[in-house]
Structure 1
Amino acid sequence: MRLEDVTRQIVLRDAPPLQILKGISIEIEAGDRVSIVGRSGSGKSTLLNILGLVDSPSTGRMSFDDRPVQLMRAKDRDRLRGSSVGFIFQQFNLIDGLTATENVAMPLTYSGDSTFWRRHDLAREMLHRVGLGHRLDSPVSTLSGGEQQRVAIARSLVRSPRLILADEPTGALDIDTGESVMRLLDETATEIGAALVVITHDQAVAQRARSRYQLDAGVLTPATAAAQAAS
């Protein structure tokens, strides 16, 4: 994924446009480990949505595998997102009333190939990989916070995405569980060769990444440069 001088603004009635992202440039290669730290209101969610092909830049250039994303038709962009991007949300976004296996299998429901018929087997395999082989048929409402997070991770990885976007993945967890989840996420991403981008406010989580950035008022800066500017 490559962003070049990307901006995102919202047009307001009877007021100047609200500039959320300002000249964002970042390149994410296969296997990269990237963290982006920012306070509430800094534009983290907007940047996450653009990286995840949910939203589009107002200006600038964006490409995936050297393919200009902005020139894609909406259905092609949606197909690319479904096959290549995995999301892990802070609040898990699991579906109550479904089991762990059913939740993990959900992204495969819309597959147009043989994975549709194998979706439950693939979901069970992924749950075993994240240490939940004993919880396959458990309703997610009966799982602990750490177990629910593992289900969310399994769901994001079941299609072997090339880019994993984790939004505050430890925000709802205690320190020990959060450390375990990050270790699991990194190990599993390594197994499938995916790039991992973590959006967080936790410096301890951010320090795990090889490439670290600071997002402040819509401006993205390498963490070392941001620290030098602050000093």
Structure 2
Amino acid sequence: MSIIRLDGVTRVVTLPDGGRLTILSGIDFEVDGGDRVSIVGRSGSGKSTLMNILGLIDSPSEGTVHFDERDARRFSSSIRDRIRGQRIGFVFQQFNLLARRTALENVMTPLLYDSGRDFWRRKAIATEMLESVGLGHRLDSTPDRLSGGEQQRVAIARALVRRPQLILADEPTGALDLDTGQSVMELLEGVAARTDAALVTITHDPNIAARADRHYRLDAGHLTTTLTRPVVPA
């Protein structure tokens, strides 16, 4: 059973002059548990819009989005919020950490919205997650005392602390050097594998895209399948 499925998804926006701009056009896309998928696209290709639709942040102008085989058009805003909080993890190029909070406090933040056992165990759960990404010794460090790679690891721990079914990584290594980026992807893939989560990585970097099992290209709003692994420059 698919986690998320897009059928004929099109996204059109109205411009200030009254014109219409098609950002996504007729996209069919499906992700199952455990999938490793990459989507390559240049700036302006519609990557961010596609990510927002996959994350139930935005809705298509045409077509349907199904999450767990349920039509997302029937979801109330509170249901969408709950699905995003509990079942979808977002990892961005910009780490979006709370500047004055420690690594532990940043990772604990999503657990503050729980009402059950995880709320009362939030410190232990967040500590365990930070230890799993190799930052058990940096629990009390604020973002300004962490390297770029360490900040991204905190962001990953925060995204995965509720063990989501679907991980959406939008240019997760774009702000990192090559070696740190590869290390972060290994970490992200390892955590996803342990929890059997699907990982969708949207990137412009062919080296990152090549790590996935299924490959797509987004060009001018059209999504096409790439049957072979992306060519990685020597």
Alignment pair present for 1:57 and 2:60: yes
Match of 1:24 in 2: 27
Tell me by how many angstroms 1:99 deviates: 0.3
1:204 maps onto 2:215 in alignment: no
Give the alignment's TM-score, normalised by structure 2: 0.94
- Stretches of structure 2 lacking an aligned partner (at least 5 in a row): none
- Note if 1:168 corresponds to 2:182: no
- Return structure 1 stretches of 4+ with deviation > 6 angstroms: none
Residues 135-144 or 37-46, more deviating: 135-144
Question: Deviations for 1:116-165, whole angstroms, at most 9, x for unmatched residues?
Answer: 11111111000000000110111121000010010001000000000000
| TM-score scaled by length of structure 1 | 0.95
Distance 2:186 2:140 in 1: 25
Q: Which amino acid aligns with 2:15?
A: L
Q: How many Å separate the matches in 2 of 1:120 and 1:55? A: 32
Match of 1:95 among 95, 98, 102: 98
Q: Report which stretch shifted further, 70-79 or 121-130.
A: 70-79
- Residue of structure 2 in register with 1:221 after alignment: 224
Match of 2:6 in 1: 3
C-alpha separation in 2, matches of 1:69 and 1:78: 12
Unaligned runs of 5+ in 1: none
* CA–CA distance in structure 2, aligned partners of residues 157 and 140 of structure 1: 18
Tell me which of 102, 116, 129 is aligned to 2:119.
116
Alpha-carbon RMSD across the aligned residues, in angstroms, is 1.2
How far does residue 13 in structure 1 lie from its aligned partner after superposition? 4.1
Alignment of 1:65-104 (within 5 A): 65-104=68-107
Measured in 2, the distance between the counterparts of 1:93 and 1:13 equals: 30
Aligned to 1:189: 192
Q: Note if 1:136 corresponds to 2:135.
A: no
